[in-house]
Amino acid sequence: MKKFITNILFFLAVTFIGYICSLTLLALFLPHEYANQFNINYKNTVGHGFTRFSEVKEVENIDVLFIGPSTTYMGFDPRIFEKNCITSFNLGSSAQTPIQTHVLLKRYLKQLNPKLVVYNPSPGFFLHKGVESATDLISNDIIDIHTLSMILNYSDPTVWNTFFYTYINRILNLDDSYQQDNIERFDTYIDRGYVSRSVEVNLDNDDEDSTPIDTHTWNPIPLQEEYFKKNIELLKKYKSDFILIETPKRSISTLKTEESNPKIDSYLESFGTYINYNSTVNMETVHFADNVHLNQRGVEYFNSLILARPEFQKFTCR
């Protein structure tokens, strides 16, 4: 029995060494696009995460922080707020779930020191484990204790492969020269985390996502609920004012239907000021780049509504 256990432990150790060697060989000899065929998601997500997380490191002491998934980084334009003398940064990221929001808040909240946090929790993402968003953070931002804490929540091989692959790349300085284009298809990284999409929704795809869903079956993953509560506690601990906002969706989007659920509304209202713009405003098709993301025209209109809110009245041009 003792020999068996010894053999097992030795086998596991050798396997781990083989695993690291395999990832090292992939890092050294294969371009990232091919390495991503091996259950690795290295710098392979949309949303300009690398550029955003690089820029945020140079920013301190802002008035407003925006945080949430892609509807955030495509929903709040810091330039519009700046015209009203409000400094801001948009820390949205692709498919961000509460777990990843927690990492970003722990990492940047103190440095950014915002007077107000606009948190777009997007309840649809409470139903996901957040693998894509986790790999986005791992490969595009620094690796620190918060990264380690995050990946311990995952058993998905893609998260762990991406973590070790990224770490190997960093140690061997293989990604020092990496640059991310500011323009990816229809998306342009503007400034301070904001990404603009200038197209309008393709009306030929009117039927996309129009399948009705049962709006009473919002069953969030317990871990995401737990991290959402931690995020709220963190904001309270740092004494940041915060508001929870749901960005508007196109009327036929199932996400709009899902996020108009009274059960979700009352749940989020229990944590603080919550405004669901799916319920309070009907924006037109021309305001949308697709069923859930605003285009520039939509952002300008939506942000004008946000600026009219009482929470923003304390920010005045001197």
Partner 1 sequence: MGRNRDHMEIVAKHRWLPPLNDALKILATFSITVLAWVFFRAESLGHAFYILGEIFSASLFEEPGFRFFTLGTLITGFMIVEWLGRSGEYAIEKLGLEWPTILRWGFYIGIVLMIVLLGGQEQEFIYFQF
Footprint of partner 1 (CB under 8 A): 11, 14-15, 18-19, 22, 37-40, 157, 160-161
Task: Report the DSSP pairing between strands 187-191 and 183-184.
Answer: antiparallel
Nearer to partner 1 among residue 12 and residue 172 (C-beta): 12
Closest to partner 1 by CB, 25 vs 142, is 25
Which CB, 160 or 167, lies closer to partner 1? 160
DSSP string computed for 162-200: HHHHHHHHHHTTTTTT----SEETTEEEEETTEEEE---
Q: Which is nearer to partner 1, 131 or 199 (CB)?
A: 131
Those residues with Cβ within 8 angstroms of residue 290's Cβ, 6 or more apart along the chain or in another chain: 201, 202, 250
Taking the complex as a whole, the smallest distance from the CB of residue 163 to partner 1 amounts, in Å, to 12
**Of the candidates 298, 296, 227, 215, which has an alpha carbon nearest to the alpha carbon of residue 255?**
215
Nearest approach, Cβ of residue 211 and partner 1 (Å): 18
Q: Tell me if 280 sits within 8 A of 149, measured CB to CB.
A: no
Does residue 240 contact residue 116 with C-beta atoms inside 8 Å?
yes
- Closest distance of CB 175 from partner 1, Å: 20
CB of 35 to partner 1, least distance (A): 10
Contacts of 157 (CB under 8 A, 6+ apart): 39
Least distance (Å) from partner 1 to the CB of residue 129? 12
Closer residue to partner 1, CB minimum distance, 22 or 273:
22
